[in-house]
Amino acid sequence: MHHGPLDGLLIADFSRILAGPYATMLLADLGAEVIKVESPSGDDTRTWVPPARDGVSTYYLGINRNKRSIALDFGVEEDLRLAKELAARADIVIENFKPGGLRRFGLDYQTVSKRNPALIYASISGFGSGAGASLPGYDLLVQAASGLMSLTGDADGPPYRAGISVFDVMTGMHATIGILAALNHRNATGAGQHVEVNLLSSALSALVNHTSAYVSGGVVPHRMGNAHPSLFPYEPLPTADKDLIVIAGNDGQFRKLCHELDLPELLDDPRFATNEARTHNRAALRPLLVSKLRERPADEWFKRLTAAGVPCGPINHVDGGVALAEELGLDPVITVDELPMIRNPITFSATRTRHDLPPPGLDEHGSQIRAWLKETTR
């Protein structure tokens, strides 16, 4: 029998694409029962190929395990009745329709909570439910509008998007945090509530030091390639064969780096005595470090500097990242019904995560769920 921390909770998942499904997969991994409600045409990501595995989009596969699927057409009276019944029985509803989009079906929070006042109802949007309600919530738009793209890329090159839909993922995490907080409130009071998150607010929070630089310091950050505005070294540096990430996050690490590079004279140089000084004088310091790093290959420096307590590491492709996690005993890959997947990253000392159900086919569990919803046990 499964003993996950969220055992016994029922989630009605009316979301699609990434932010919502990622949140519901995290919650399902923790033990919640998730019923994925799809339109008859299915979640958009089912068709986002290539790549695919056995004809199914790996995008869809990556964020939809531990769920059961039912296809419902809200324009059909019986299907809408079943959707309302599901929301009435659920502990949690998650949706990412345009704000107000479920109101005409009677599936909005105000309507559903009248029948189910203990319900926690989470809404995910692109730009909030106010003046930005009509704006479409695509991650790329938010990467552009929030300022992230202005920070990504070479200083003299064009803005770039991040390599993943980073704000969809972060907003999914924020939705999960909000739901768990609301669950704690419900445990204390018995009352549910409406939790709202949006990509732009999550983005501004996730830009951390950069948004802080602006709102607290009046500084508008700019692109610096792989350099850091407040630390040096904290970037890829060339070696004899390839680039190596080298970090000196404090004065102690910088002293160790200088020792391993046989550059003791730098320790007495006032231009490099503190992090602030090193950051201001990076143009003078960088070539001094590089001249030594070029004497040996990256793998040799990686072993030597790591042993000395200097943070550094290779720049891998994704396969290398998975391989490193395996090498470190992190067991990144689990198999769910013969499907290899990246496991939930959280471990618990008293409970466990689950990886039981493979991502469902469209309406795979429809007949079973319909029969259950038609029962009059509630």
Q: What is the pLDDT of residue 95?
A: 98
Distances (CA, A) of 267 to 43, 228, 275, 290: 58, 21, 12, 16
- Cα distance between residue 220 and residue 236, in whole Å: 24
Q: Which amino acid is at 166?
A: V
Q: What percent of the chain has pLDDT over 70?
A: 99
Is the N-terminal amide bond of 233 cis, ω within 30° of 0?
A: yes
Q: What are phi and psi of 89, to 5 degrees?
A: -90, -15
Question: Which residue in 131, 132, 133 sits closest to 99, CA to CA?
Answer: 133
The string of pLDDT tens digits covering residues 88-113 is 999 999 999 999 999 999 999 999 99
Buried b (16+ CB within 10 A) or exposed e, 254-264: bbbbbebbebe
Helix/strand/coil for 291:
helix
Residue 29, burial from CB neighbour count under 10 angstroms (0-12, 13-18, 19+): buried
Q: Which pLDDT belongs to residue 1?
A: 56
The answer on pLDDT for 376 being more than 80 is no
Burial of 223 (0-12, 13-18, 19+ CB in 10 A): middle
Burial per residue of 35-65, b for 16 or more beta-carbon CB atoms within 10 angstroms, e otherwise: bbbbeeebbebbeeeeeeeeeebbbbbbbbb
Angle at 26 between CA 22 and CA 27, to 5 degrees: 120
Q: Given this model, what pLDDT does residue 133 score?
A: 97
pLDDT digits (tens, 9 = 90+) for 156-190: 999 999 999 999 999 999 999 999 999 999 999 99
Q: State the Cα–Cα distance between residues 132 and 319, nearest whole angstrom.
A: 39
Average pLDDT, stretch 38-66? 97
What's the average model confidence in pLDDT over 218-239? 96
Section 207-220 average pLDDT: 98
The rounded distance, in Å, linking the Cα atoms of 248 and 343 is 32
The DSSP line for 72-83 is: --TTSHHHHHHH
Position 2 pLDDT exceeds 80:
no
CA-angle at 90, arms to 86 and 96, nearest 5°: 80
For residue 52, the cross-strand partners are: 57
Q: Is 183 left (phi over 0), alpha (psi -120 to 50) or beta?
A: alpha
DSSP 52: E
Q: Does 306 have pLDDT greater than 80?
A: yes
First to last CA, the chain: 25
Per-residue pLDDT band for 378 (boundaries 50, 70, 90) equals very low
Q: What is the pLDDT of residues 317-367, one digit of tens each?
A: 999 999 999 999 999 999 999 999 999 999 999 999 999 999 999 999 999
Active site residues: 168
Peptide bond just before 270 cis, omega within 30 deg: no
When the pLDDT of each residue in the chain is averaged and rounded to a whole number, the result is 97
Collapsing DSSP states into helix, strand and coil, what is residue 6? coil
Mean pLDDT calculated for residue range 202-228: 97
Tell me if residue 303 falls in helix, strand or coil: helix
Distance, CA of 57 to CA of 80 (rounded, Å): 28
